[in-house]
Amino acid sequence: MDNAQMDALVGLLLDENLALSLNELCRTCRLDSAWVVEMVEQGVVEPAAGASPAEWRFDTVAFKRLQVAVRLQQDLDVNAAGAALVLDLLEELQTLRQKLRRLEAA
């Protein structure tokens, strides 16, 4: 396989039953497992199941949060704690917007 093929976009159909192991997640997202472990330790993501890294399973929410954390780190040089804060604030903003839409519709 040449470099052009290696650089092709990797697609993954996300559904509510997604349960990727740490290795599957790292391979799919091209992430280092130590970085993902740090993201878990810093509260950026929480495994949906499993007590240890070998048993962890990541759902769609964790997958999406990790993708955003990667972009925050690459584009804005945000550290893990900063990424956790940004992601929590984005989720809160989304929740508030949904509540506002419901109130406006009533």
Q: Residue 61: which residues within 8 A CB-CB, separation 6 or more? A: 48
* Residue range of the domain that includes 31: 17-105
Number of domains in the chain: 1
Cα 99 to Cα 33, 83, 86, 102, 105, distances in angstroms: 37, 24, 20, 5, 10
Q: Is 56 within a domain?
A: yes
Rounded to whole angstroms, how far apart are CA atoms 38 and 60? 19
Q: What is the CATH number of the domain that holds 44?
A: 1.10.1660.10
pTM over 0.95: no
Read off the pLDDT of residues 12-54 as tens digits, 9 standing for 90 and up.
455 667 889 999 999 988 999 999 999 999 999 999 999 999 9
Calculate helix-pair angle for 22-29, 60-76, nearest 10 degrees. 50
Q: Is 57 within a domain?
A: yes
